[in-house]
Structure 1
Amino acid sequence: MKSKFGPENAYEVLVQSVVDYAIYLLDREGRVSSWNPGAERIKGYSPDEILGEHFSRFYTEEDRHAGVPEAALVTAAESGRYGAEGWRVRKDGSRFWALVAIDAVRNDKGEVIGFAKVTRDISDRREAQLRELESERRFRLLVQGVSEYAIYMLDPDGRVTNWNAGAARIKGYAAEEIVGEHFSRFYAPEDFEAGLPSKALETARRDGRFEAEGWRVRKDGSRFWASVVIDAIHDDHGQLLGFAKITRDMTERREAQQRLEEAREQLFQSKMDALGQLTGGLAHDFNNLLTAILGAADIGGRHLGDPDKLRRMFSGIETSARRGADLTKQLLAFARRQPLELKLIELAVQLPLFAERIGPTLGGDIQFETAFDGDLWPVETDPSQLEQTLMRLVANAQDAMPEGGRLRFAARNARLAGEVQGLAGEFVAISIEDTGAGIPTEIRPRIFEPFFTTKQFGHGTGLGLAQVYGFAQQSKGAVAVESAEGRGTTMTLYLPSRGAAAAERADRAAAAKPGVLVVEDEPFLAELAADLVREFGYEPYVAHSAAEALSMLTRISGVKLVFTDVIMPGGMSGLELARKVRTRYPELPIVLTTGYSQVVGSAPEEFPLLPKPYDVRQLEETLRSLVKPVSHDLGSGIGPADRTLGSPEQRSDGLSRRS
C-alpha cells in the first residue's frame, strides 16, 4: 500500500503530530521559524504569536540577564549539540522545568543555517525527584541524629560504607577512620577467631536477617555488651547490595539485670535463712514443751495412786500446753491467720490503766514517763492481742537499757495521708520510746523476721517483734521504727480508729440458754467439749457430722446454741453448717472453733470464732455471752415426743445426749 505522505512532507507530518514535545526551528540568530502543536501546548503561544520572535523570551529574566540563551546557541554551533535542564517561562508567566536539547542545522557545505530545538516539560518528574531527594536528606539527618544506636551500611564483603553519629559515639571511631574498613574489627578476639563476623553475614545473606547479643570492642580497646541486628539489602532484581547494621550498647541494662538477679538470689537466700530460723526455733521450743508433757505424763502414769503427784504432773502438762498454744498464736498473728476478737476499746481509759500496771515492773533504774492525748479516739481491735503487743514493745525497750534509762509511753490521734507506709485516714499512734543503744543499721531491715534475735541463746524466741508486726498488719495498721545508734529507739504502732460504727458490734446480747449442740468429728474432743458444757450448767448434745447436726435440730427443741468445729467430714464444713443453720433458724446463736482455717480467717464476721486450743474460761464466757435468757423453740414441726428425748436409747438418729 502506497503512503499518502511523500518524502518531502513525511517529517513535517511527524513533527506536527507530536504534542508532548515542543519541536521547532530557530534561524541563525535564534528566531523561531517553525512551531508544532507540542510547542503550542507546552509554552502557550500560537504560531502567529511566536513565529519571528527570539527564543530567549522562553527563558527566565535572570537567565536572560546571564546570557544563557546566547551561550546555548554558541555551544550548539561549536559542538553541534547543547543539552540542559532549567526553568522556562510560558506565555502566561508561569514557570515549568524543562529538558532542553538544541542541535545545529548545517547545509551541504557544513555551514550553520539554524538550530533544531526540542523542549519537554518534566516538572512532574523533577518534583518527584525533589521529593525523593528530600526524603533521602531527612533520612540521612535522622540516621545521623540518632546517638543511641550505631547505624551504618556494609558492602557485600562487610566493609563499612557510611557511619552515623551514634556509631561514632558508641564505637569511638570517626567516619574518616572507619569507612572502608571491615566490620570484623568491632568483634572481640575470641569471637573473631571463632569466625563469628563471617557467620553473621552469611546468616543475614541466607535468611535476610541476623540478630544476636555479645561483647564488642571500642576503638580504645574497652568492651561493651551489644545488641546487634544485620539486615540484607537487595535491589529490585534481588541482587545483594550490602547490609544495614544496627548496634546498641546494652551494657547498663545487662548490668542492671545482673544486679536484679543477684538481688533476687539474695532475697531467696534471706527467705531460706528466715525459714531455717523459723523451723529451728519452732523445733527447739516445741521439743522443750513436748519433753515436759511426755515426762509429766510418764511420771503421772507411774504414780496413779498419788493424788498430789498426779495434780502436779497435770498442772505441768496444762502449763506446757498453754505455752504451746501461746507460741502458736504468736505464729498465727505473724502470719495474719489468727482471727482477732474485735472489741471497741476506749484508749483514753485503757492506756493509763495499762501504764499503771507496767510502771512498777520496770525497776528503779528506768525512768517511766507517759504522754496521752486526753481525747484519744477509740479503736476496734483485740484487747488481749493489743496488750500482748504493748507488753512486747515495753519488754524490748527495757532490754535495750540494761544500765537504765528513760522509757516514754505515749499516744496521740493522727490523720494520715500516706506518709506512714501508705496509710490514710484516722489512726491512733501508740509509741514506746527508749534511750537505749539503738538498732544497728545493718540489722534494722530484719527485726520483724520470725526467730531473728540479737539476744543470747535462751533469752528470747525472736517472735516478739514478729508478733507485733503481724498484729499491726492484721489490724490494718502499721508499726514504724525510728532508731539512732547510741540515742535510742521509738516503736510506733498505728491502729485505725473505728469510731461509733464499731460500738454497735461491741453491744451484743448475752444470756444463758439451757441446751448446746456440740458438733465435733473427733470423739475425744467431742466428749471433752460436752463435759465442759455440762460443767458450765448447760445440757450438751453431741453430733459427729454436719448432717447429723441438721437432723438433730429438726427433732430436738432444747438446743439453744450450736458449737461446731470448722473442719468436718462428709463434704459439709462447719462454716457451711453454720450458714445453713442461720438460714433455717436465724435467732439461734452459733460459735465456730478451729485450730487453723483460711476459710474462716478470710470470711466475713458472721459468727464468733473460738481458736483451738481454747481456754476453758474463754469458752464459758463465749457461751454465756451469746445464749438468750428466754427459752425459744426452733420450729413448729417439733412434736411432743421430740421434747421428751432424754437418753441414747430413746433416739434412732445416731446422736447421743449427755445428761
Structure 2
Amino acid sequence: MSGEGNASARGKEPPAGAALLAAADTGVVVLDADGRVVWSNDAATRYLGVDATTVGGLTAEVFAEQVAPRLADGEGFVDAVSEGGVDGPNRELHVVDGAEDRWLERRTHPIEDGEYAGGRVECYVDVSDQKHALDRLDRRERTLRAVHDILLDRSRDLDDRLDELLDVAGRMLGADHAAFARFGDGRVLVENVISSVDAAVAPGHAIDTSETIAGVVSGRDALVHADDAAERWPDRHPVGVAGDAGLDYYVGVPVAVEGEQYGVLSFADAAPKQGGLDWELTLLDITANSLGHELANSIREDRAEEQLQQARREFESLVQDVEDYAIFRLDPDGHVESWNRGAEEIKGYEERDIVGEHVRTFHTEADREIGYADELLDRARERGRAVDTGWRVRADGSRIWVNAVITALHDDDGELQGFLKVTRDMTERRAREKQLEHERERLEFVNRIIRHNLLNGMNVVEARANILEGHVDDDVAPHLATIQERVEDMTDLIETMRTFMKAIVEGEEHESQPVALDDVLDDELAKADRAYDDATFEHDELPDVPVLADDLLPEVFENLLTNAVQHNEGPTARVRVETEVGDDEVVVRVLDDGPGIDEAVMAHVFEKGQKGFESPGTGFGLYLVHEIVDSYGGRVEATNRERGGAAFTVGLPRP
C-alpha cells in the first residue's frame, strides 16, 4: 500500500492532501456526491475494522453496515451515516469488537469544491484516552462520596461503618483482602476483616506485631505501598491473614488517635496493580486521618461514661420542682417509685399513672424487644452508673431524644437499694447539633480535598499549558488559549471556595460588618458589562445604604449576573437589577429575560452540583450564593417572572 492511502475501486484519483491524511491518526473516509466511498486511510481501517481495499465504491449505507457489528450501537451508526447529514453534532462510537475497547468521535464535513464536490468527508477521531479518564474521574467521585457518607454517618455503629469502609476502600484499590487492626502490648488485634482470601482470620485474632507487615507500617508511621510484599518481607504477612497466602500486593496506612498510634488499615491482593494509584493512596491517607477522629470521639464517650461519679441517695425533696430534668427513683427491679415535675413535663405521665410501672415503659418497641432497659439497669449495677442517649416514648406515643443517667443507690453495707434516673430532653438540641456538625465536617472534608488535590492539579495543568504557549501552530493556538482561560477561571473558583470554606470552617475573618451595597453593585455591574458584549445591564439609582456582609459579597452578585446572561437563549441578554430598602433588610432582585427556570429543578436550584437547564457553569455558583447569603443571616429565593425570565431575590440584613 502506498503512502497515498486506499483509492476507490473505480479508479478515481485520491483527494487532494491524501498523502498527509494517509498517515494521520484520524480515520478518514471520503464519499462522493452519489454517497459512495472513494477513499479511506489506514487509520479508518484500524479503527473501523473494514477492509480498505474493498470499501471503495460501496454506498454509505453498505459501508456503515459492514462497520456496525463492531459497535455497541451499530443500528444508530447505520442510520447516522446513511442520512448523510453534514455539520451536525459530533457522535461518539463505542467499538466493542476489536483488540481493545475503543471510543471514536465521528465528525462529518461537506466537500465544497473539486472532483468530489457535493460529497462529504467522514472523520473518526480516537477519544479513548479522554473517555477512560472521565470514567476514572466518575469512579473516584463515587468512591469519595461513599467514604464521606460512611465516616459522617453517626447514626450507625462505628464497627459497622468500619466494615463498609474496608469494603469501599478495598474495591478502590482492587484488593481482595482488607482489615483493620489495633496495636497493643507488642501485638496486633484484628477487629474488622472483609476478605475473600482462604487464609483470612476472624475478628479477635491476635498476633505479634513483628510477624505482620503492620509492624513495618508502625515503625515508619507512614503509608506503606508495595507490589512485592512477599519478597520484601518474607517473614511477615498482612494483618488478618494466617501465614503465607501469596499476597504480593500490599497497602497499609497507620491510624492515629489523639496523636498516638492506634491501629492500621491493611489491604492485600495476589496480583500487583497496573498504573499509578496516587489519588487512591492520597484518599486512603485522608480516610485514615478521619477514621482516627471518629475513633477518638468513640473513646472519649466511653471514657466519659466510665468516669462518671456515683450519685448520692434519694434527693426527691431537692429536685421536686426541677422542670428541665426528669428525676425519679426506681426500685432494684426497675419499677418507678417517685416522680418529679420535670418527669411529668418531659415524659407526659402524671405520677398516679406511672408509679409502679417498669422503666421499660419509656423505651421504644424495638428496645423493649431486645430488653434494652434491663441491660442499662445491669450496667448500672455492675459499674455504678449507666449513661445512655437515644429515643424514648412519651405518654402520647410521640418520640423524644434524651440523655439519661441511671445511678445505682447502695446502703452503707453496699446493698443495692434501687436506682436514681435523671433524664434530659435533647430532641431540639440533637437536631440542631447534628445538622451543624454534619455541615462543618463535610466542609472540612471537601476543603481538604480542594487543598490537596484540585488546586495542585490545576496548577500543574496551568504550568504545562504555559509551556506549550508559542510552540503550537495557528490551528491549535485558539484551543490552547481556551484551556488557559478555563484553567484560570477554575483556579479562581477554587480559590473562592477555599476562602469561603475557610471562613465557615475556621471562623476566620467572617464576622459580618457594614458593607456599602451601592459600591459592590456598581463594581459588579461594570465588570459584567465589560465581560458580556451582547448583554445589556439596567438598574435604577443604587441605594447608599450599608448591609451586614463581608468581602465575599461581590461573589454573590457576580454569580447572579453571570447566571442571568449564561441562561439566556436569545442573541442578546437583558438583565435588570432592582433594589428595595426596608427597615430590617435591603432586597436586591436580579431579573433576566431568558427562558426561566425549569419547574423540575426549581426546588433544587441552590443545591451544590445543580446546573439546571443545560447550564455551561460548574453547578456551584448558585450553591455558593446561597451559602454566603445564609452565613450573613440573609435569604435568597428563585422564581419565574410572569412576563418570562427568572428572578433571583436576595435579602441582606441591615446593621
Larger relative contact order (Cα-Cα within 8 Å, sequence gap ≥ 6): 1
TM-score (norm 2): 0.32
Give the number of the structure whose alpha-carbon radius of gyration is greater: 1
TM-score by length of 1: 0.32
